[in-house]
């Protein structure tokens, strides 16, 4: 099993599943574009979860792929897994909360983990450029 490819597949699937979720939420709400500003609204949460994923998942997928092209230490592999888990966690924190107006520990942990692991993976790739 290739852990980097599994992480990339999960992140890619997340983008498309969340896109489908937005489409279904739009159908249920009868809304063709845009979304209500209400942080409790299901469509609003679906759009935010998808938009947030699209902001970060492609960059993570690329960093994971590039980093996997070299011989990598186990801690780099674990960083890939944690990055992927953080993206899933933030989606659960967005969709599963009653309102986006309130802080949510899953969203916070997912976001912080994304920033930290993303920067670590960027550093790994940058290091590869100089080695």
Q: How far is CA 39 from CA 30, 42, 101, in A?
A: 18, 8, 6
**What CATH number did the domain enclosing 85 receive?**
1.20.120.550
Overall average pLDDT of the 80-94 stretch: 97
Angle among Cα 65, 70, 71 to the nearest 5 degrees reads 125
Q: How far is CA 7 from CA 26, 33, 67, in A?
A: 29, 31, 12
114, pLDDT greater than 90: yes
Residue 29 confidence (pLDDT): 82
The pair of three-digit structure tokens given for residue 131, joined into one six-digit string: 């080695």
Number of domains in the chain: 1
Could you list the residue range(s) of the whole structural domain that residue 30 is in? 3-130
Contact status, residue 77 vs residue 3, Cβ threshold 8 Å: yes
Give the model confidence (pLDDT) of 65-79 as tens digits: 999 999 889 999 999
The pair of three-digit structure tokens given for residue 106, joined into one six-digit string: 């899953």
CA dist., res. 32 & res. 39, Å (int): 19
On average, the pLDDT of the chain sits at: 94
Q: Which residues contact 75 (CB under 8 A, 6 or more apart)?
A: none
Residue 30 pLDDT class (50, 70, 90 cuts)? confident
What ranges make up the beta strands (E) of 1-131? none
CA dist., res. 50 & res. 20, Å (int): 9
Q: How far is CA 70 from CA 2, 75, 77, in A?
A: 13, 14, 11
């Amino acid at each position: 099993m290739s852990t980097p490819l599994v992480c990339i597949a999960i992140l890619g699937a997340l983008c498309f599943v969340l896109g489908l979720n937005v489409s279904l939420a739009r159908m249920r709400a009868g809304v063709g574009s845009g979304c209500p500003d209400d942080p409790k609204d299901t469509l609003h949460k679906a759009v935010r979860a998808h938009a947030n994923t699209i902001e970060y998942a492609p960059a993570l997928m690329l960093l994971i792929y590039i980093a996997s092209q070299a011989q990598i230490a186990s801690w780099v592999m674990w960083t890939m897994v944690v990055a992927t888990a953080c993206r899933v966690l933030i989606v659960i924190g967005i969709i599963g909360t009653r309102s986006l107006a309130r802080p949510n520990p899953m969203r916070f942990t997912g976001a912080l983990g994304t920033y930290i692991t993303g920067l670590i993976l960027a550093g790994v790739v940058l290091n590869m450029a100089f080695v």
